[in-house]
Amino acid sequence: PEPVAARYRQGEEIPAEEHQDVTVIFADVIGLDRLQAELTSERWLTIVDELERQFDAAGDGLGMERIRSVRNGYLGSCGLNVPRLDNVRRTVDFALECQRIVDRFNSETSSSLSLRAGVDTGSVSSGLSGRPSVVYDMWGAAVNIAYQVKSGSRQPGIDVTDRVYEALRETMNFTSAGTVTVDGQEQPIWRLVEPR
């Protein structure tokens, strides 16, 4: 984030920060690996860059903060550096918009990509890590659980934890998607069906 970058450029030591009310999304675009095998490296990179650009534009409009993207994955948050009372809703709306971006790409290119996302809300930490290349990163329980929710799903879609479900169940439709084991305890997972 620019405020952190400005402090770092001025030589300030940036300690890790704790955040209590942050919603986290981990998302993968499924099918990019298969597409990579069919295209030149240059064409594949152009597609990945365009998808990331569209995800970032959607995120900017919803107040999302991209933490990092990794080849076919995306880690973002809402409420991390700019507190937002509706960070849960904004994050799920962002996931839906990413799904629409992928669907639009498919219709324009006759591809068969899909989005798989995991969303959780809670406590995280953030800070700068690494030397000599410094990277802004985020970690903590909500990050780990969002990743486990996304990774535990065998099919495309938007899966959320019980905390996200409880925050949105009056305004969005969900169906049970099983459980995920976190620290030895099973937690229910919910699949977003469609917005109401």
* pLDDT average, residue stretch 66-90: 90
User: 5-60: per-residue pLDDT in tens?
Assistant: 788 788 877 778 899 999 999 999 999 888 888 889 898 889 889 999 999 999 99
Average model confidence (pLDDT) across the chain:
89
| Residue 65: pLDDT over 90 | yes
pLDDT of residue 169: 94
pTM (2 d.p.): 0.90
Q: Three-class SS string for the chain?
A: CHHHHHHHHCCCCCCCEEEEEEEEEEEEEECHHHHHHHCCHHHHHHHHHHHHHHHHHHHHHHCCEEEEEECCEEEEEECCCCCCCCHHHHHHHHHHHHHHHHHHHHHHHCCCCEEEEEEEEEEEEEEEECCCCCEEEEECHHHHHHHHHHHHCCCCEEEEEHHHHHHHCCCEEEEEEEEEEECCEEEEEEEEEEEC
The per-residue pLDDT for 8 is 79
